[in-house]
Structure 1
Amino acid sequence: MVARTEEIADQERPLLSHLRELALRLRRAFITLAIVFVILFAFDFRFITIYGYSIPIIYPNLFHSISTRLIVFFIHAELPPQLHLLNLNPFDTIYSSAYISFYFAFFVALPIIFKEIWGFISPGLYENERKLFRNIILPGITLFVAGSSFAYFIIVPFMMKFVLIFTQSLGVEPTLSLRAFISTLITLMLAVGLAFEFPLVMTILSYIGLVKAETWKKNWRWGVLGSFIIAWAISPGTTGGIIETTIGLILSALFFVGVAASSFAQKRRSASLELKQSLNSIKRNS
């Protein structure tokens, strides 16, 4: 009975050790995210000159913080001058600042978050799986930045101009809630950025063997339909279908890019497996 108890304890110890490591790494990631959030939300910065070099320093300033600077920048960059912002609820300004702070804090802390996640999962991966994860980081970031940039430079300005023209045509005062503006901006940048990961997800699924590249190619009509469904889901729905159609066409193009990338990834995987089988056969024969 004692031996059985010791055996169970030996089996549980590695699991508890992994859970402790996971909790520690999650704590580090959360603390990093919280620190960056507080800095963006409640601190400002200025440059001081020391020995001819300009050095940025941060200092507490809740009312003129980095996030409020960003809000002012977005207002001047994205809103038509005739469209006026209103503070409808007492805490709209605080919520807006918090939205901006969390969104940018996540990206500033992303390297640390990736480092902690990678440090936890990498010991349990094969070398080819580690290589796969390393190779998708840069394309994933690039696609997300491209999607967010498309939302920021194309979708939001067009949407705001459309809202302004349509509101003026009804003889209504063109106003907008500050919280609605910021939440719409952040939501669109996040949603479109994630939608642009479409081809990367397809490539990964084909590389690991879950979906064949031929399946993507054969069902391209469903891919295009799915692209327009995603476009309809993430679009603001206030532009008479123009933005929805534009996003749908771009996602459809990305789907076909994903088809080509999936075919390439599948060929590389097949070549890699054939090489491994050949090496194993040589080892067995020797």
Structure 2
Amino acid sequence: MAKKLPQPEQEMSFLDHLEELRWHLIRSTLAVVILGTLAFIFKEFIFDVLILGPKNKAEFPTYQMLCKGARLLGFEGSFCEAEFPFRIQSRTMAGQFSAHIWTSITAGFILAFPYVIYEFWKFVSPGLHSNERKSARGFIVVASLLFFMGVLFGYYVVTPLSINFLGNYQVSEQVFNDFDLSSYISLVRASVLASGIIFELPIIIYFLTKIGLVTPEFLRKYRKFALVIVLIVSAVITPPDIASQVIVAVPVIVLYEISIFISRAVIRNQNKKRRKSHGEPHR
């Protein structure tokens, strides 16, 4: 009996790709909704511990560390004050419920990020060669790790610096700070998500190098321009004081230098494969 030869995989049409993308998006959305529902249930922990945690100067670790640092330098900074001179209020009927919903969705996205990346990888990987898929097996782990590192950096560094500056800032002693709940949550959300995305820079550079849009020489040549962009981004996601901007800019600059190293490694591997395919001797 004759053996059947394996049939070559047929190329998917444009509509098939759209259908495949639709199901990846549906599964990713379901993961966000499920974990967002879980966050919705644990309302007290999400709000009292996480969201409102950076408002509590007496217990939040960032303020304690900065206060100790200020005292070692011989002065009492605003980080050592007992509490912030402002209140958080909700001035609309549906304000607290809307904040609960959108905060739960944000928490669901953060928690589901590894699965979202996994679905993205499943959609992209069929278009890669087998050796490329093997070399990028750690993509999900590395991308998730960088994202969570960025989220923690945004929560423990960017958020308290922003709250401390803006919460203590007054144009006049006759004007009191009473912040709306949605404004406070949007600051926390923007700080956390922006930092998480910024920390994905090495992954972005990796793929840009793979498709030939970026080279190590290009990154080194425009390092000065990148530094200016980093400072601009730092100014956008932090309060307008130099110390906060420098604190945020330092890890981003480190990530940029790591991205140059990653880009150089990608180019080196591509050159090795090219020489090997042409039978050239290894240098």
Name structure 2 gaps, 5 residues minimum: 1-9, 58-82
- Partner Cα separation in structure 2 for residue 39 and residue 207 of structure 1: 38
2:246 is the counterpart of 1:245 = yes
> 1:104: which partner in 2?
107
- Partner Cα separation in structure 2 for residue 27 and residue 201 of structure 1: 24
C-alpha deviations, 1:13-51, integer Å up to 9, x for none?
A: 84444443333333233233223323322x3xxxxxxxx
CA distance change for structure 1 residues 226 and 265 in 2, over 3 Å: closer, same or farther?
same
Asked if structure 2 preserves the Cα contact closer than 8 Å seen for 1:84 and 1:175, the reply is yes
CA distance change for structure 1 residues 195 and 29 in 2, over 3 Å: closer, same or farther?
closer
Once the two structures are overlaid, the 10-residue window that deviates more, 86-95 or 74-83, is: 74-83
> 2:144: which partner in 1?
141
Asked if structure 1 preserves the Cα contact closer than 8 Å seen for 2:231 and 2:249, the reply is yes
Aligned to 2:49, which of 73, 78, 82?
73
1:78 to partner: Cα distance: 0.4
> 2:258: which partner in 1?
257
Aligned to 1:90, which of 85, 90, 93?
93
Q: Residue 144 of structure 1: SS of its match in structure 2?
A: helix
> 1:27: which partner in 2?
26
- Partner Cα separation in structure 1 for residue 12 and residue 50 of structure 2: 52
Name structure 1 gaps, 5 residues minimum: 1-10, 44-65, 282-286
C-alpha deviations, 1:40-71, integer Å up to 9, x for none?
A: 22x3xxxxxxxxxxxxxxxxxxxxxx134211
> 2:277: which partner in 1?
276
- Partner Cα separation in structure 2 for residue 278 and residue 13 of structure 1: 34
2:104 is the counterpart of 1:128 = no
The alignment's C-alpha RMSD in Å is: 2.9
- Partner Cα separation in structure 1 for residue 255 and residue 25 of structure 2: 33
- Partner Cα separation in structure 1 for residue 207 and residue 11 of structure 2: 33
1:209 to partner: Cα distance: 2.7
Q: Percent identity?
A: 24
Aligned to 1:210, which of 210, 213, 218?
213
CA distance change for structure 1 residues 220 and 73 in 2, over 3 Å: closer, same or farther?
same
Give the number of aligned pairs.
245
CA distance change for structure 1 residues 223 and 15 in 2, over 3 Å: closer, same or farther?
closer
Asked if structure 1 preserves the Cα contact closer than 8 Å seen for 2:125 and 2:133, the reply is yes
1:186 to partner: Cα distance: 0.9
Could you list the structure 1 runs, at least 4 aligned residues long, displaced by more than 6 angstroms after superposition. none
| Larger RCO (CA under 8 A, 6+ residues apart) | 2
Asked if structure 1 preserves the Cα contact closer than 8 Å seen for 2:114 and 2:140, the reply is no
Asked if structure 2 preserves the Cα contact closer than 8 Å seen for 1:231 and 1:244, the reply is yes
- Partner Cα separation in structure 1 for residue 51 and residue 115 of structure 2: 30
CA distance change for structure 1 residues 115 and 155 in 2, over 3 Å: closer, same or farther?
closer
- Flag the structure with higher strand content: 1
Aligned to 1:200, which of 196, 199, 203?
203
> 1:186: which partner in 2?
189
1:168 to partner: Cα distance: 9.5
Q: Residue 105 of structure 2: SS of its match in structure 1?
A: helix
C-alpha deviations, 1:216-272, integer Å up to 9, x for none?
A: 11221112112112222333x3x4343223323332232222222222222122123
CA distance change for structure 1 residues 107 and 151 in 2, over 3 Å: closer, same or farther?
closer
Q: Residue 163 of structure 1: SS of its match in structure 2?
A: helix
1:86 to partner: Cα distance: 0.9
Q: Residue 90 of structure 1: SS of its match in structure 2?
A: coil
Q: Residue 210 of structure 1: SS of its match in structure 2?
A: coil
